[in-house]
Amino acid sequence: MAPGVSILAAMPPMNMEDVPAGKKPSSFSIKSGTSMACPHVAGAGAFLKSAHPRWTPSIIRSALMTTGVCLDQSKPKKIVCIFEQNGRPWSWLHAATARNNLGLPVASSSGAVATVHDMGAGEIIPLRALNPGLVFDTTTRDYLDFLCYQGYKDKVIRKVSGDAQFTCPHGAPSPDLIAKSVNYPSISVPQLTAGKPFAVSRTATNVGRSNATYVVAVEAPPGLSVKVSPKRLLFSRRWATAAYEVRFAHAGARNGYAYGAVTWSDGLHSVRTPFAVNVF
C-alpha cells in the first residue's frame, strides 16, 4: 500500500546542542526511510475501518488510492499529476508544470520528473477516502489467481489456501493476465505493441448513494489510444457492482512507459485509476 524509498517524515528535534552559535534551532528534524510511509497509511487505514467496519482491507486500499491527489504546491487549489512522457513533462490535467513547495518540478530520487511508478496514486487524503463513491474489491480468488499468473502450481496454491478444489485459470502463468484480470485500483500493461490492442477488465462496487450514474473521463498522452466501454456505469443501490473494459492501442507512441488515468465521476465523487503502459 505504501512502498517507497527515502520517504521523509517530520519529528521533534533530536539534539539541540548541534545548533551553531547565533543560529535559531529548527522546530523539527527529518527522519528518512521506507518505513516512514507505513505508520501514516496504517493510521489512515484504521481511521477508515473505524468509520466503515464492513470494509475489507482491499476496499480500504482502493478508497485511499482512488481518492489520492497530486497537488501543485505553487497552486494549492489545483489538483494535477505530472509525469515524464517521451522525455517531456505531461500532466493529466494538461497544466504547464507541477511544482513542489520549493517551486521545482516534482522529481524522483534520481532527479528525473516523477512518474506513476514514483508517485503511485498520489498523496492520500483520508477524509476524502471516507466517501470514495466507488471501490475495487480485490477478492481472495484474485490473489490466488495472481499466484497462478506468477507461475505457482495448483497443488502449491491448494496447500496455501486450504481449498482442495482450486484450479488455476486457463492461460496461466501469464503477466498479461495479472493486468487483465486482477481487480486492482490501478492498471499496469506489461507490453503494448502496434496492431495488438490490450484489454483490461475491472469491476467497481458502489459504496455511495443509490441510483448513481458515473461517467468516464480518460486522460492519455499523445500516441496512446484508450477507450472505455461502457462509458456510463449505473448503480441502483449501495453495494451494487458494474464491470467495464479499458482497451489500450498503440497509436504512434514512442517506446517506453506511457502514463495516464481513467476517472469515473457522478458529480459528487471522482474515482481515479492511474495506468502505466509499457509501449514496444
Mind listing the pLDDT tens digit of every residue in the chain (280 residues)? 565 556 777 777 766 667 777 787 777 887 776 677 787 888 999 999 999 999 999 999 999 999 988 755 455 544 545 444 444 444 443 333 356 667 777 777 677 777 788 778 888 899 999 999 999 999 999 999 999 999 999 999 999 999 999 999 999 999 888 888 899 999 999 999 999 999 999 999 999 999 999 999 999 999 999 999 999 999 999 999 999 999 999 999 999 999 999 999 999 999 999 999 999 9
Burial of 255 (0-12, 13-18, 19+ CB in 10 A): exposed
pTM over 0.75? The answer is yes
Rounded CA-CA distance 188/76 in Å is 29
CATH number of 42-138+183-279: 2.60.40.2310
Q: How many CB atoms lie within 10 A of CB 45?
A: 21
Q: What are the DSSP E strand ranges found in the chain?
A: 8-11, 29-32, 82-85, 88-91, 134-135, 187-192, 198-206, 212-219, 224-229, 232-235, 241-250, 256-265, 270-279
The three cell numbers locating residue 249: 492501442
Q: Where in the chain are all domains bearing CATH 2.60.40.2310?
A: 42-138+183-279
Q: Which helix (H) or strand (E) holds 230?
A: none
